[in-house]
């Protein structure tokens, strides 16, 4: 088997890794994209020819330039790439960066630079998505990213642990930026992205989906005034959690149903991070 045949086989195997329902969506999106793309491309060709014929005539300024029409085609390409990548981001809760279609790349062993107004093959986008998974399934990648983003919530900037488990209570120090406002003379808690990841982990632990359960959204608002009850005890309707409490010193307390459940949660989502030293 020659090198070209091997490359073709690898490509087929990569695309075959996508579930049929995903491929159905991608194929439908591709059909719409190609139809619109060819319309814009034909318009660009017609107007380019018209420009050539009318060059020097007073009517010439009313005709779009070739570059302007190519911009329409380029915009079409960007929307297609964004729609395909966005589909996988939304469905599987994974990070998918959009590939740069204008960059140089190897295709069938030949390296060349594409024009931004060349048509984008669906295969090109899917290969990029597949490569970004790093050999993991979408579920594995989503879980890996959740754990990585949540680590900061239970560790200090030095890398030291900020949590302890006592009885059935998980306590994390310096979770919120909590301070007394000098103007309003009231305590306020400021939320950082790491809080969102922590509550996403709690939601996934309880329900198995990626996102933030409605009951935790109040605790994830950007800035919370003590008048809104942020420092009260918050009963949680859950099979594994009884209550969440935020303290004015910035610490948060999660009261699980049992000590074993609290340990299980930390071992699953914060693997390798020991409790802080006494």
C-alpha dist (Å) from residue 13 to 9, 16, 123, 212: 6, 5, 12, 35
Q: What is the pLDDT of residue 75?
A: 84
Q: With bands split at pLDDT 50, 70 and 90, how would you rate the model's confidence at 4?
A: very low
Rounded distance between C-alpha atoms, residue 235 and residue 223, angstroms: 21
Calculate mean pLDDT across residues 262-267: 96
Rounded distance between C-alpha atoms, residue 99 and residue 91, angstroms: 19
pLDDT at 187 over 60: yes
Among 81-85, 161-165, 228-232, whose mean pLDDT is lowest?
228-232
φ, ψ of residue 61 to 5 degrees: the values are -60, -15
| Structure-token pair, residue 210 | 């990626």
C-alpha dist (Å) from residue 204 to 184, 213, 260: 37, 9, 17
pLDDT at 116 over 70: no
Half-sphere exposure of 256 (CA within 13 A, CB side): 20
Rounded distance between C-alpha atoms, residue 192 and residue 222, angstroms: 7
Among 73-77, 229-233, 246-250, whose mean pLDDT is lowest?
73-77
Torsion of CA 58, 63, 68, 72, to 10 degrees: 170
Q: What is the pLDDT of residues 34-45, one digit of tens each?
A: 998 888 878 777
How remote is the C-alpha of 246 from its chain's centroid? 28
Select the highest-mean-pLDDT range: 8-12, 53-57, 164-168, 220-224.
164-168
Q: With bands split at pLDDT 50, 70 and 90, how would you rate the model's confidence at 3?
A: very low
Q: Which residue has the higher pLDDT, 7 or 120?
A: 120
Q: Which residue has the higher pLDDT, 214 or 102?
A: 214
Name, in order, each residue with C-beta under 8 angstroms of 21's C-beta and a sequence gap of 6 or more.
Answer: none
Q: What is the pLDDT of residue 61?
A: 56
pLDDT at 256 over 80: yes
Q: With bands split at pLDDT 50, 70 and 90, how would you rate the model's confidence at 175?
A: very high
Among 81-95, 98-112, 192-206, whose mean pLDDT is lowest?
98-112
For residues 127 and 121, the answer to whether their CB atoms sit within 8 Å is no
Q: What is the pLDDT of residues 44-81, one digit of tens each?
A: 777 777 766 766 665 555 555 556 666 777 788 899 99
Q: Which residue has the higher pLDDT, 47 or 196?
A: 196
Rounded distance between C-alpha atoms, residue 34 and residue 163, angstroms: 53
Calculate mean pLDDT across residues 251-265: 96
């Amino acid at each position: 088997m020659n090198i070209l045949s091997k490359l073709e086989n690898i490509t087929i195997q990569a695309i075959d890794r996508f579930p049929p329902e995903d491929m159905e969506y991608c194929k439908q999106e591709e059909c719409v994209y190609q139809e619109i793309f060819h319309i814009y491309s034909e318009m660009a060709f017609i107007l380019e020819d018209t420009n050539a014929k009318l060059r020097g005539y007073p009517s010439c300024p009313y005709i779009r330039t070739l570059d302007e029409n190519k911009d329409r085609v380029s915009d079409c390409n960007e929307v297609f790439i964004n729609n395909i990548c966005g589909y996988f981001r939304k469905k599987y809760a994974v990070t998918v960066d959009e590939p740069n279609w204008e960059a140089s790349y190897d295709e069938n062993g030949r390296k060349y630079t594409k024009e931004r107004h060349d048509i984008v093959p669906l295969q090109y986008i899917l290969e990029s998505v597949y490569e970004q998974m790093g050999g993991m399934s979408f579920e594995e990648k989503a879980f890996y990213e959740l754990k990585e983003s949540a680590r900061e919530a239970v560790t200090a900037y030095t890398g030291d642990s900020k949590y302890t488990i006592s009885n059935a209570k998980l306590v994390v120090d310096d979770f919120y930026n909590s301070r007394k406002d000098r103007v309003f003379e009231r305590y306020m808690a400021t939320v950082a992205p790491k809080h969102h990841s922590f509550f996403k982990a709690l939601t996934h632990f309880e329900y198995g989906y990626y996102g933030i359960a409605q009951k935790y959204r109040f605790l994830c608002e950007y800035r919370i005034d003590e008048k809104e009850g942020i420092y009260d005890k918050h009963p949680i309707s859950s099979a594994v959690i009884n209550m969440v409490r935020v303290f004015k010193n910035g610490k948060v307390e999660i009261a699980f149903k049992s000590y074993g459940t609290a340990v299980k949660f930390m071992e699953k989502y914060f693997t390798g991070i020991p409790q802080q030293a006494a």
